[in-house]
Amino acid sequence: MPTTNFRVPEKYKYQNGFGSYHESEAVEGALPVGANSPQQPAYGLYAEKLSGTSFTASRHENQQTWLYRILPAAAHSPFEPRESSTYNTNPDAAKLHQIPNQLRWDPFDLDESVDWVHSLRLIAGAGDPTMKQGLGMFIFAAGKSMDPHSAFYSADGDFLIVLQHGVLDIRTELGCLLVRPNEICVIPRGIRYHVSLPNGPVRGYILELYQNHFQLPELGPIGSNCLANARDFQAPTASFIEDFSGKTTYTLLSKFAGRLFAASQTHTPFDVVAWHGLYYPYKYDLARFCTVGSISYDHPDPSIFTVLTAPSERLGTAVADFVIFPPRWLVAEDTFRPPWYHRNTMSEFMGLIHGDYDAKSGGGFQPAGASLHNVMSAHGPDSMTHAKASSAELKPMKVGEKSMAFMFESSLMVGVTEWGLQKCKKVQKGYNEESWEPLKARFRRPEARKDGTKVESWSDGKRPDLGTWVGES
Cα-flanking dihedrals φ and ψ of residue 459, to 5°?
A: -70, -20
Are the CB atoms for 175 and 193 separated by under 8 Å?
Answer: no
Nearest to 405 by CA among 286, 227, 232: 286
Separation of alpha carbons 348 and 378, rounded Å: 11
Residue 76 a catalytic site member: no
User: Choosing from 97, 149, 299, 354, which is the catalytic residue?
Assistant: 299
Residue 379 a catalytic site member: yes
Neighbour tally for 455: CB within 10 Å: 10
Separation of alpha carbons 268 and 145, rounded Å: 17
User: Choosing from 373, 386, 409, 434, which is the catalytic residue?
Assistant: 373
DSSP line for 359-393 = T--SS-S-TT-EEEE-TT--B---HHHHHHHHHS-
Q: In one letter, which amino acid is 272?
A: V
User: Choosing from 213, 379, 386, 409, which is the catalytic residue?
Assistant: 379
Cα-flanking dihedrals φ and ψ of residue 408, to 5°?
A: -95, 110
Are the CB atoms for 45 and 259 separated by under 8 Å?
Answer: no
Q: In one letter, which amino acid is 210?
A: Y
User: Choosing from 348, 386, 409, 434, which is the catalytic residue?
Assistant: 348
Residue 165 a catalytic site member: no
Residue 354 a catalytic site member: no
Residue 418 belongs to what H/E stretch? helix 418-418
Residue 433 belongs to what H/E stretch? helix 431-435
Strands 175-179 and 202-209: unpaired
Separation of alpha carbons 163 and 118, rounded Å: 16
Separation of alpha carbons 284 and 317, rounded Å: 24
DSSP secondary-structure letter at 7? S
User: Choosing from 25, 97, 149, 342, which is the catalytic residue?
Assistant: 342
Burial label for 335, CB within 10 Å (0-12, 13-18, 19+), is middle
Residues with catalytic function: 299, 342, 348, 373, 379
